[in-house]
Amino acid sequence: MYDNDADRRIDISEPVMSRNDRFAAENRKFLTDRNIYTLNLISSPGAGKTTVLEVMARFFGPGMAVIEGDVQTRRDAERIERAGCRAWQIETGGACHLDAQAVGNALEHMEMEDGTVRLLAIENVGNLICPSGYFLGEDMRIGLLSIPEGDDKVLKYPSLFSTVDVLLINKMDLVPHLDFDVDRVVEECRSLNPDVTVFTVSARTGEGMEEFCGFVESNIS
């Protein structure tokens, strides 16, 4: 039985800010204070996140920095550095997603105080499910889907595709070789997420990449 003592009541209507969301809010403040626009790239393993970022690194040059999330190895960070941008690798040691605290630790080490960096891209661990529940403090969430994965994935993984700002369909050069209905994917994504912006690209041939990079650039203040 509860009495009327207000001190003993818990107002369950008050939203509970999760631990991750508090770290994400700190990241957001850190980044907006430095005028850095932030992307969170999410896809299954091998959809082409790093290849897209390599193209972006050549477009944005040292104005872009990258945080790479992988279970293990520095391989993706090394690729980004070779493409001309500074990169910080987070090895999660088993976790299937990045969380805001890990990103915050990386931000403290990245030395972005000189004002050169206008754009930060975070490549999440390859996974269509776990990363979607963790806000990292980003301004734009990008979901990548590549042609070899199949055109049925959007409704099978709604936690991601209902929360993305941008749907990036990659490996368009493979459309002639595989059964992939691009219109179906776009339609299903819009059914979950009417405001989503869609780009069709090939990071390998460069098709559509200038339009995509231009769109990202137009969002940077």
Which positions touch Mg ion (CB under 5 A)? 49-50, 76
Residue 174, binding choice from ligand GTP, Mg ion, none, Cβ under 5 to 8 Å by partner class:
ligand GTP
Minimum Å distance from CB 115 to ligand GTP?
29
| Cα distance between residue 27 and residue 103, in whole Å | 8
Q: Select from 102, 104, 41, 100 the least CA-distant residue to 76.
A: 41
| CA dihedral of residues 56, 201, 131, 138 (deg, nearest 10) | 50
> Which of 24, 31, 38, 49 lies at the binding interface for ligand GTP (CB under 6 A)?
49
Minimum Å distance from CB 50 to Mg ion?
3
Give the chain's count of helices (H) and strands (E). 8, 7
Q: Does 170 bind ligand GTP (CB under 6 A)?
A: yes
User: Around 94, how many Cα atoms within 13 Å sit in the side-chain half-sphere?
Assistant: 0
Q: Does 200 bind ligand GTP (CB under 6 A)?
A: no
Using only C-alpha atoms, what is the Rg of the chain? 19
Nearer to ligand GTP, 112 or 142 (CB): 142
Q: Scan for tokens 């042609």, then name that residue.
A: 147
Nearer to Mg ion, 23 or 143 (CB): 143
> Which of 117, 171, 193, 209 lies at the binding interface for ligand GTP (CB under 6 A)?
171
Nearer to ligand GTP, 23 or 103 (CB): 103
Q: Scan for tokens 């963790």, then name that residue.
A: 134
- For residue 11, count CB atoms less than 10 angstroms from its CB and return exposed for 0-12, middle for 13-18, buried for 19 or more: exposed
Minimum Å distance from CB 48 to ligand GTP?
3
Quick one: which segment of 9-17, 46-54, 132-140, 176-184 binds ligand GTP (CB under 6 A)?
A: 46-54
Q: Scan for tokens 């430095």, then name that residue.
A: 34
Nearer to ligand GTP, 49 or 97 (CB): 49
Nearer to ligand GTP, 23 or 160 (CB): 160
**What order do you get walking across the sheet with 197-200 strand by strand?**
86-91, 64-70, 119-123, 37-42, 140-146, 166-170, 197-200
Minimum Å distance from CB 68 to ligand GTP?
8
Q: Does 40 bind ligand GTP (CB under 6 A)?
A: no
- The angle at the Cα of 173, spanning 192 to 129, to the nearest 5 degrees, equals 35
Nearer to Mg ion, 23 or 47 (CB): 47
Q: Which residues bind ligand GTP (CB under 6 A)?
A: 43, 45-51, 76, 126, 170-171, 173-174, 202-204
